[in-house]
């Protein structure tokens, strides 16, 4: 009997079972009771598990239990595929008689990453270098050792602001699931858990927005490749207040539930390029997300120590309630309010909203890294420890002291103004740093630099901004203005 976990739900986790083998799934209520998850996340995971159990039919036993231990004691599974978190790996290894099979669901072996990272000789573990190695090793968009189209990356063409005067990107609306009886039962169960006081959630209980089954995941992939991939590349960094999905694939929840293998996504996108149906800049941008970033943060996670969360910038501010509980109505800053609203409504926002609005704000304001990793893991439907650890600590918060990123991703309102339509309708002005109309991101950027000028002094990419800080005529006024802001919602 193989114990299948809630993020091992695709065929590649069961396709080697032999006749007579069976599958065990365990829904642990305690898992949801321990921390406050987004309601949509609990719904998606339980829906996906129950749909998988229904697909497997008699082959599968699904147990609803307070915790894993009694279900394992009763059913005595003999094997499990290695889980995706330090904590779960420890737990499965403590179970008597349970064999642990190598992990699945990624395109590259840990040996490749370990060999690459140990051969860097102290140089930064640049994602770009890893990505090129993966493309070459797997033969994706390469001709021999040369990249397809002569360039490894099309980032320059893939940073367009949203089209002027448009309130939405105007691409085909994303695929949307139709809920069924299994979803209705999940909703009823979650209502009962919440009513009993055992479990409490953040976020709204909206209709499910992401794939929970293999066939739904294949539909999302096909829909993305056919209708949205063309626009994905150029506008992948753009934000519009009335367009939550832009041309993003919405595949990360399905990938992280294990419903799709990353190579299925890569192959489908590359095939569209070969057929002349999608431009190289979009296809390369998508391949970079899946084979570059996703594989990179997966392997980096295993190089982190289970209980050690770095905090290079000594960020110690507790997440304020309005942020942690997604109270977008408390927030005047249009960009931040919109980001929190997107997460409240669906447990999802796209990568630039995460990095340049939510992450940027948390970095500037010194939110404690451990709490931020936890929050991203609870509030996002695709958040898991392996995804969030490197992304949040390394990319968003610079908590690793620059192991991943060459400089902190702090930026003022000018970036958000260029890449979105938020500033037009905002009570603040992106070019003001002091006074009642001061943009909290612009002021926060200079405040952050001032707070960390000693930490950043040796970083040559920060020399110019630090010199700019020194020239600010209203620096003292700005510092006292932002000191006074504290943890209040901007």
Which of 367/428 has CB closer to ligand SF4? Answer: 428
Using CB under 6 A, which of the segments 18-26, 38-46, 55-63, 425-433 binds ligand SF4? 425-433
Supply angle C-alpha 352, 335, 282, rounded to 5: 25
Residue 247 interacts with ligand SF4 (CB under 6 A)? no
Of residues 26, 49, 34, the one with CA closest to residue 95: 26
Residue 413 interacts with ligand SF4 (CB under 6 A)? yes
Residue 417 interacts with ligand SF4 (CB under 6 A)? yes
Residue 331 interacts with ligand SF4 (CB under 6 A)? no
Which of 164/460 has CB closer to ligand SF4? Answer: 164
Among 199, 260, 272, 334, binds ligand SF4 (CB under 6 A): 334
Residue 355 interacts with ligand SF4 (CB under 6 A)? no
What are 38's strand-pairing partners? 202
Residue 473 Cβ vs ligand SF4, minimum distance, rounded to whole Å: 21
Residue 125 interacts with ligand SF4 (CB under 6 A)? no
**Helices 280-287 + 262-274 axis angle, to 10:** 170
Residue 422 interacts with ligand SF4 (CB under 6 A)? yes
Which of 52/341 has CB closer to ligand SF4? Answer: 341
Residue 430 interacts with ligand SF4 (CB under 6 A)? yes
Instruction: Order across the sheet with 60-65: list the strands.
Output: 60-65, 23-28, 2-3, 79-81, 99-101
Residue 413 Cβ vs ligand SF4, minimum distance, rounded to whole Å: 3
Residue 20 CA: distances (Å) to CA of 2, 9, 53, 85: 11, 19, 16, 30
Q: Which residues contact residue 311 at a Cβ distance below 8 angstroms, ignoring those fewer than 6 apart? A: 368, 369, 370, 399
Residue 485 interacts with ligand SF4 (CB under 6 A)? no
Which of 12/429 has CB closer to ligand SF4? Answer: 429
Among 250, 363, 439, 469, binds ligand SF4 (CB under 6 A): 439
Residue 416 Cβ vs ligand SF4, minimum distance, rounded to whole Å: 4
Which of 174/413 has CB closer to ligand SF4? Answer: 413
Among 29, 86, 176, 429, binds ligand SF4 (CB under 6 A): 429
Other CB atoms within 10 Å distance of the CB of residue 150: 8
CA-CA distance, 485 to 479, in Å (whole number)?
A: 10
Residue 419 interacts with ligand SF4 (CB under 6 A)? no
Instruction: Considering only residues 335 through 354, tell me which ones interact with ligand SF4, judged by CB under 6 A.
Output: 335
Q: Which residues contact residue 407 at a Cβ distance below 8 angstroms, ignoring those fewer than 6 apart? A: 398, 456, 459, 461, 462
Residue 365 interacts with ligand SF4 (CB under 6 A)? no
Among 333, 339, 362, 489, binds ligand SF4 (CB under 6 A): 333
Which of 217/333 has CB closer to ligand SF4? Answer: 333
What are 222's strand-pairing partners? none
Supply angle C-alpha 359, 363, 369, rounded to 5: 85
Cβ neighbourhood burial of 196 (10 Å; 0-12, 13-18, 19+) = exposed
Cβ neighbourhood burial of 302 (10 Å; 0-12, 13-18, 19+) = middle
Provide the binding-site residues for ligand SF4, judged by CB under 6 A: 333-335, 413, 416-417, 422-423, 426, 428-430, 439-441
């Amino acid at each position: 009997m193989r114990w299948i976990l809630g993020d091992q739900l695709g065929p590649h986790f069961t396709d080697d079972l032999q006749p007579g083998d069976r599958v065990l799934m365990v829904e642990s209520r305690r898992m949801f009771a321990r921390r406050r998850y987004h309601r949509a996340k609990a719904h998606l995971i339980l829906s996906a598990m129950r749909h998988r159990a229904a697909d497997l039919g008699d082959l599968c036993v699904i147990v609803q239990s307070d915790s894993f231990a009694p279900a394992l004691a009763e059913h005595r599974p003999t094997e499990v595929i290695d889980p995706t978190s330090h904590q779960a790996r420890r737990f499965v290894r403590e179970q008597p008689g349970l064999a642990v099979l190598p992990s699945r669901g990624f395109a590259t072996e840990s040996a490749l990453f370990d060999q690459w990272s140990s051969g860097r000789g102290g140089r930064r573990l640049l994602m770009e270098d890893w990505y090129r190695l993966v493309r070459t090793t797997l033969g994706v968009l390469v001709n021999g050792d040369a990249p397809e189209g002569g360039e490894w990356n099309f980032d320059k063409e893939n940073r367009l602001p949203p089209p002027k005067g448009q309130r939405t990107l105007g691409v085909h609306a994303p695929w949307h699931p139709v809920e069924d009886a299994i979803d209705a039962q999940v909703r009823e169960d979650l209502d009962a858990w919440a009513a009993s006081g055992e479990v409490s959630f953040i976020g709204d209980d909206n209709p499910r927005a992401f794939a929970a089954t293999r066939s739904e995941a294949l539909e999302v992939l096909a829909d993305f490749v056919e209708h949205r991939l063309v626009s994905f590349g150029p506008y992948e960094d753009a934000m519009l207040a009335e367009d939550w999905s832009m041309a993003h694939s919405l595949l990360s929840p399905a990938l992280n539930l294990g419903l799709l293998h990353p190579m299925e996504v890569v192959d489908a996108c590359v095939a569209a390029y070969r057929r002349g149906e999608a431009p190289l800049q979009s296809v390369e941008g998508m391949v970079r997300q899946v084979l570059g970033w996703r594989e990179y943060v997966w392997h980096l996670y295993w190089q982190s120590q289970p209980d050690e969360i770095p905090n290079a910038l000594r960020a110690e501010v507790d997440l304020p309630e309005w942020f942690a509980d997604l109270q977008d109505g408390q927030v005047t800053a249009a960009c931040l309010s919109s980001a929190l609203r997107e997460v409240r409504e669906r447990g999802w926002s796209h990568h630039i909203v995460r990095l340049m609005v939510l992450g940027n704000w948390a970095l500037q304001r010194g939110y404690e890294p451990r709490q931020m990793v936890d929050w991203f893991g609870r509030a996002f439907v695709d958040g898991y420890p392996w995804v969030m650890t490197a992304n949040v600590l390394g990319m968003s918060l610079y908590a690793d002291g620059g192991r991943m990123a060459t400089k902190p991703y702090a930026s003022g309102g000018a970036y958000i103004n260029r890449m979105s339509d938020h500033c037009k309708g905002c009570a603040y002005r992106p070019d003001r740093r002091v006074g009642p109309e001061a943009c909290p991101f612009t002021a926060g950027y200079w405040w952050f630099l001032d707070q960390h000028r000693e930490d950043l002094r040796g970083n040559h990419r920060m020399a110019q901004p630090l010199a700019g800080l020194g020239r600010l005529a209203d620096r003292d006024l700005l510092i006292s203005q932002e000191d006074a802001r504290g943890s209040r919602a901007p």
